Amino acid sequence: MMGLTLAELQAELRVHLGKRSSEDSRLVNVLNLAQIRLARAETWEELNSILPRSVFSQSTNIAYNAVKSFYFTDGQKVKDILNFNITDGGTTRKKLVQIKSHQFYSKYPDLSLATPGIPHTYHILESSKDTLKVEVYPPPNAAYTLKLKVSKWPKAFETGKESETSQLTFKDDLIIMLAMSYLMRSLQKNDSAKEFFGVYSGMLKEAKKENSASIDLDILPESERIESSPSNYWADPFYRG
C-alpha cells in the first residue's frame, strides 16, 4: 500500500471530526503544519538526499568568500547539511566541519585577509526555498568537487492536488494524529487534543526507533569486524589502522 493521498488524509480527519465540514478550508494547512512539526522531530531517512556534484574554486566572481549556490528544481528547502565532502580528484579528500554563522565570523572576521588553502570549516550563509549557499574557510586554493548529503523539509500539500502523497514514508498515522491534536486544541477541546497527542507521541517513539535501526548493523561482534588495510593507507583519510 502506498501512502494515503491528500484526499484520503482529509477524509480521515473529517471522520475524526464527526464528519463536520466546517473545518474543511483549514485541513490542507493543518496537514502541512503536522508535516513540518514531524520533520522537526527527527532527521528522517526518506527526506535525505545527495546533491549533484558541483565544482567550486577561488575566482573573481566569488573572490575570497568562496560562496557556492545550489539550486533545486523541486523547490524544497534544505533543513540541514548532514555531510560535506570535497576532493580535488587526486589524493586530497576532506570532510568539512559545520559551525554556526556567528562562530564563523567570530573566528574568521575578514576572509579577504585569509591565505587560500584546503577548506576545513563552513557555515550556512543562506537557505531559502530553492537556494543553499555555504561559506568556507580557508578560501579554496584549487578547484574542488563537492559532495553534499542534505536533509530537506517535506514538500507541502497543495489544494487541488488531491492525489499527492506525503514524502514522509509510512507516517500517515502520525500526521493524522498530530493534525487532529492541533484541530482539537484550536476548537477548545483540550482533553481530546491531549488524547490525540498522546497517541501521536507513542507512535513517534516507535518511528524514531525504526529510523535509527539498520538491518546491516551489529550483525557481527566487534572482535569479528576486521578491515583489510588499503595498499596506500597513508592517502586514505578514513583509514585508522
The residue behind cell 550483525 is: 219
User: Does residue 222 lie in a domain region?
Assistant: no
User: Does residue 104 lie in a domain region?
Assistant: yes
pLDDT over 80 at 225, yes or no: no
SS3 141: coil
**Pair 112, 144 in one domain:** yes
What is the H or E stretch that residue 127 is in? strand 121-127
Can you tell me the distance from the alpha carbon of 179 to that of 184, in angstroms, rounded to the nearest whole number?
9
Q: Tell me, what's the pLDDT at 80?
A: 86
**Pair 53, 132 in one domain:** yes
Burial of 161 (0-12, 13-18, 19+ CB in 10 A): exposed
Can you tell me the distance from the alpha carbon of 185 to that of 189, in angstroms, rounded to the nearest whole number?
5
User: Does residue 186 lie in a domain region?
Assistant: yes
Can you tell me the distance from the alpha carbon of 230 to that of 130, in angstroms, rounded to the nearest whole number?
40
Q: Residue 36 — very low, low, confident or very high, per pLDDT cuts 50/70/90?
A: very high
**Pair 53, 37 in one domain:** no
**Pair 56, 105 in one domain:** yes
Domain extent for 71: 47-153
Contact of 131 with 110, CB cutoff 8 Å: no
Can you tell me the distance from the alpha carbon of 102 to that of 2, in angstroms, rounded to the nearest whole number?
43
User: Does residue 180 lie in a domain region?
Assistant: yes
Pick from 22-31, 66-75, 81-90, 104-113 the range whose average pLDDT is largest.
22-31
Can you tell me the distance from the alpha carbon of 31 to that of 117, in angstroms, rounded to the nearest whole number?
47
User: Does residue 219 lie in a domain region?
Assistant: no
User: Does residue 74 lie in a domain region?
Assistant: yes
**Pair 25, 103 in one domain:** no
pLDDT over 80 at 70, yes or no: no
- Report whether the peptide linkage leading into residue 237 is cis, meaning its omega lies within 30 degrees of zero: no
Burial of 171 (0-12, 13-18, 19+ CB in 10 A): buried
Domain total of the chain: 2
Q: What is the DSSP letter of 31?
A: H
Can you tell me the distance from the alpha carbon of 186 to that of 182, in angstroms, rounded to the nearest whole number?
6
Q: Tell me, what's the pLDDT at 129?
A: 65
Residues 6+ apart with CB under 8 A from 42: 204, 207, 208, 211
- pLDDT one-digit tens code per residue, 100-138: 999 999 998 887 788 888 888 888 877 776 667 788 888
Closest CA to 36 of 168, 138, 130, 145: 168
**Pair 109, 175 in one domain:** no
**Pair 58, 14 in one domain:** no
- pLDDT one-digit tens code per residue, 161-181: 999 999 999 999 999 999 999
Residue 137: phi and psi, rounded to 5, are: -140, 140
pTM score of the predicted model? 0.74
User: Does residue 233 lie in a domain region?
Assistant: no
**Pair 54, 36 in one domain:** no
**Pair 62, 39 in one domain:** no
